[in-house]
Chains A and B, each alone.
Chain A
Amino acid sequence: MRTIRPLKIRSDKLRFFLKWSTYVLIAAVLYVFITTSAKTPIKPLLLIPFAVCVSMNESEFASSMWGLFCGFLLDSACGKVFGYNAFVIMVLCMFSSLLFLYLIRRNFFGFFIISAAAIFLHAVLDYFFYYAIWGYENVGLLFWRTYIPQMLWTLACGALLYFVGKYVSIKFGTQIKILVEEKNDGSSEE
């Protein structure tokens, strides 16, 4: 299996800039993808798993800000009140970042679980605030016909984003510095 090696960039600022630029670029591509006219009735909301994916490798503050950004994009894509998705995804990203920091291992399984939870919570809140509380006739149909396929579709397609996020995170990540302590007898110890 091929190992991903970090790019040899000395400047931390440049590395930071390149990493976040790449994240923004990917988010922009996903935004265009979900808003482009297509015959498919349901599209995966790929920005949610991608936001979770980034928060997996970032601090809680950076994750929250990233969630805010992805949420604003999602607000624009879904025609929701500007800031609604931003707030929801910001909170989801903050919690997922903390969970990855303290409780859950940073691997594909962990990502899949947290991603599924985030997608489910987002869909339930969206359904509740935008349809259920307004009392439209046969509103439950909407959950089965729109939200369930949307969740499944997002989860299935979003799983691939784990690899994209991991690749970017490692490529532009900080290189691990191994401290080598010289022993008095000449041999070295990590």
Chain B
Amino acid sequence: MVYSATSGADDGESIIQMIFGPVQRFSTNIKTKVQSSLDMIWNAKQYYDENQKLKDEIGQLYSQIVDYDKVKRENEQLREIMGLKEEFPDYVFSPPCAVIARTTNDPYGSFVIDRGSSDGISKYDPVITANGLVGVVVKVSKTYSRVQTILSPEVPVGAYCVRTKDPGVVEGSVELAGKGRCKMMYIDRSSDIKKGDIIVTSGNSGLFPVDRVIGTVEEVGTEESGLSLYAIIKPAVDLDSITNVFVITDFNGKGEGYEND
């Protein structure tokens, strides 16, 4: 008492706190653990129900996210179609197509889409994205189609340079396919075609609609024969990473090319 009166009660209390503090902390921890353990035991049913409810809610949220992504993707694809429709009103499109499989080890990057003849797709229909030409349908079944890309030598496309109006034929080759490029051949020797020029379809064959972008000129050279020029084309579409495409099932001039005369 004398000590507390002379030195102040706070010191005594702090000593007690110092001694009993860890013990109190320990006992509080034990109490909390016991309390929570008992709580778990007594309210297990309630927690279980809550857990189930939350799991259901999470499941619903996940499915909503999936639906949202699907709707968002469809919306983007339909916007692209709308844009193309406004630009080219004569095009008739198939429903948006997703790339479902890649042809195994195909050097030209052909792939399979999830739409077939039941969606109005037929053999040799052109395949595009909003960015440009992708290739052509080479095989059709009821529910899927196989698309060969413009990197293949089996898909020659009549084309011309937008700036110089020089015509030519864009074709793939074994050598360039590995680099994701194709080649425009039979360009007039006097042509002024140069790097950066945009190449579009000419529509001469009746297989492809006119004025679809194929790509840009990356390099120009003279053919070995010296009779014409060639241009290495970088496709406008990244063919390695496309996931969605459109098939043009009909357009003005379809099947009216020189090859069909």
Q: Is A78 a contact partner of B103 (Cβ separation < 8 A)?
A: yes
Among residues of A, the one whose C-beta sits closest to the C-beta of B153 is A136
- 1/0 per residue A119-137: CB within 8 Å of B? 0000000000001000011
Point out the residue from B106, B174, B243 that lies within 8 Å of A138, measured CB to CB. Answer: B174
Contact partner, A78, options B104, B174, B240, B243, Cβ 8 Å: B104
Q: Decide if A146 touches B101 in the complex (CB within 8 Å).
A: no
Q: Are A146 and B99 in contact (CB under 8 A)?
A: no
Q: Decide if A4 is an interface residue (CB 8 Å cutoff).
A: no
Residue A34 lies at the interface, judged by CB distance under 8 Å to chain B: yes
Question: What is the size category of the interface that chain B forms with chain A?
Answer: 20 to 34
Residues 141 to 190 of chain A near chain B (Cβ within 8 Å): 141-142, 145-146, 150
Among residues of A, the one whose C-beta sits closest to the C-beta of B103 is A79
Interface positions, chain B 164-199, Cβ under 8 Å from A, are 173-175, 178
A15 within 8 A of B: no
A37 near B101: Cβ-Cβ < 8 Å: yes
B46 at the interface (CB under 8 A from A): no
* Most chain A beta carbons < 10 A, residue from B102, B111, B243: B102
Query: How long is the Cα–Cα vector from A131 to B101 in the complex, in angstroms?
Result: 22
- CA gap between A138 and B224 in the complex, in Å: 15
Binds B, one of A38-46, A51-59, A105-113: A38-46
| Chain B nearest CB, measured from A124 CB (Å) | 14
List chain B residues, Cβ under 8 A from A3.
none
B50, chain A: closest CB distance, angstroms:
39
Q: Choose among B112, B139, B175 the residue that contacts A137 (Cβ–Cβ < 8 A).
A: B175
**Interchain nearest-CB distance for B99 vs A (Å):** 6
Shortest Cβ distance from B138 into A: residue: A79
Query: What's the minimum C-beta distance from A80 to chain B, rounded to whole angstroms?
Result: 9
> A65 in the interface, Cβ–Cβ < 8 Å?
no
Chain B nearest Cβ from A119, distance in angstroms? 13
A141:B175 contact, CB within 8 angstroms: yes
A2 to chain B, nearest CB (A): 35
In contact, B105 and A38 (Cβ under 8 angstroms): no
Mask, A22-49, CB within 8 Å of B = 1, is 0000000000001111110011010000
A interface size (C-beta, 8 A): 23
Q: How far is the CB of B28 from chain A (nearest CB, A)?
A: 52
The answer to whether B174 touches A139 (Cβ under 8 A) is yes
Question: Shortest beta-carbon distance, B20 to chain A, in Å?
Answer: 59
A137 adjacent to B174 (CB under 8 Å): yes
Q: How far is the CA of A32 from the CA of B112 in the complex (A)?
A: 13
**C-alpha gap A150/B106 in the complex (Å):** 11
Residue B115 at the chain A interface, CB threshold 8 Å: no
**Docked-complex contact B173 and A146, CB < 8 angstroms:** no
- A35 and B101 in contact (CB under 8 A), knowing A137-B173, A137-B175, A139-B174? yes
Residues B173 and A35 in contact, CB atoms below 8 Å apart = no
Mark out the residues of chain B between 67 and 124 whose CB falls within 8 Å of any chain A CB in the assembled complex: 99, 101-107, 110-112
What string of 1s and 0s marks CB contacts (under 8 Å) between B222-250 and chain A?
00000000000000000010010000000
CA distance A145 to B174 in the complex (A): 10
**B212 is an interface residue with CB less than 8 A from chain A:** no
Q: List residues of chain A with CB under 8 Å of any chain B CB.
A: 34-39, 42-43, 45, 74, 77-79, 131, 136-139, 141-142, 145-146, 150
The 3 closest A-B pairs by CB, nearest first: A35-B101, A79-B103, A77-B104
Q: A78-B105, A79-B103 are in contact. List 16 more A-B contacts (CB 8 A).
A: A34-B104, A35-B104, A35-B112, A42-B105, A45-B104, A77-B101, A77-B103, A78-B104, A78-B106, A136-B173, A138-B174, A141-B175, A141-B178, A142-B107, A145-B178, A150-B105
For this complex, 18 residue pairs linking A to B, each with C-beta atoms less than 8 Å apart, are A35-B102, A35-B112, A36-B101, A37-B102, A37-B243, A43-B104, A74-B104, A77-B101, A77-B104, A79-B103, A79-B139, A136-B173, A137-B153, A142-B107, A142-B174, A145-B107, A145-B178, A146-B105
Residues of B within 8 A of A (CB): 99, 101-107, 110-112, 139, 146, 153, 173-175, 178, 240, 243
